[in-house]
Amino acid sequence: MRHLPYFCRGEVVRGFGRGSKELGIPTANFSEQVVESFPSDISTGIYYGWACVGNGEVHKMVLSIGWNPYYKNVKKSVETHIIHTFKEDFYGEILSIVIIGYIRPEKNFDSLDALISAIQDDIEEANRKLDLPEHLKLKEDNFFHMPESKLVNGH
């Protein structure tokens, strides 16, 4: 994984509508073009890092890259769960992320509850790792400060 940390920015698009509704874990999804631009040696799996919507605050995040075996996706997706509660959706906004580290490979689950439990464990691990000094410094990276001309809807 020589490409980590990996910096990525793209518009938030509508996903499958499962994150919030079925899992209670909302995710921000990148377009197919952004997904296809990821380096091929960033393998599928669960990662952690930092995320920012527009020029808002930078928050901890966990990220899934892959086909979501439980749902048998036919298209690869990159879904970011920002560890923060937002008051409203932010479709069309620019999401900036820095992927810092790897948590686990993608895998299938026997039940929705087992999937939710694994995601909660991933969030806990991300929270712990992102508190390490070497990871905290990336939260302040200039990458998260976009020029006003790149903002959408004033964010």
Catalytic machinery residues: 79
CA 135 to chain centre: 16
- The Cα–Cα gap between 10 and 96 comes to 7
Q: Are 59 and 82 in contact (CB under 8 A)?
A: yes
- Judging by beta carbons within 10 Å of its beta carbon (0-12, 13-18, 19+), is residue 66 exposed, middle or buried? middle
- The Cα–Cα gap between 73 and 86 comes to 27
User: Measuring CA to CA, which residue among 75, 48, 47 is closest to residue 139?
Assistant: 48
Amino acid at 141: D
